[in-house]
Structure 1
């Protein structure tokens, strides 16, 4: 290779590096190419490329006073779909994130919060299911990958309405062999409720009471 070719190659390389770190504005944080977890941080016109921890995404709308690497549900990457390879630990599929435990539709109440590769196991309150779409515990019938009837162990009977055709939208049923709990069937899907200590479900009034004689 001639000296001229070597010089030209070096010049092109230097230009490419310079372009890669050119700051669109003097101060700010900006996406890098098609990556959803890399970003360019510019301070006084000097740019530094950074990579979010595994499992987090770069939120270009985050203010300068907010950490820009956030959970996927809080970030809209648009067409930037490229991500770093997963870096799983013994506990977690990614270093950061919330992950539902269990692989079947009736395993809905436990989830794992992963922080720096360490997993912390949590359980939703009784009757609720973990939603991977919102990272919240919600009614099982609104969690897409949870089968409410299988999870709660109760299938709503198709009781006809007293008047008219069709089926009742809301129905109450005492939990079998449990006077304290009851199911509210919403559009054919069960939701579990608890009357609380010292109270019992009255199937005649469809409400909780402290009278044990109403419970069978």
Structure 2
């Protein structure tokens, strides 16, 4: 019985693992944020404590509705193309095989060609992945 409780506790702990100092560094009044490294997760802020939550299989976190959603329903936050003037590219908020192309505040998601990834050091340029 003790072993079963220990296994359940370990699984719950893993599912609610801390994300670090994310909530401390975001002064925004929202309590739910997309996980910048995993589209199928989101971060709930409980005070200054980060709690990583997992979406059900096949769903990703939608920044507009602040809920898990089907990927085809579009998940670009309204303010992702700030400033709202000009033409520029910006990293996708959680998928390094994509980037966001902004034209006068209107975002569109673009896919890197030939399995390239957005270079974390030179965003938003796509670079071929070397394995």
Report the TM-score, using the length of structure 1 for normalisation: 0.28
**Higher RCO, Cα 8 Å, sep 6+:** 2
* Rg (Cα) greater in structure: 1
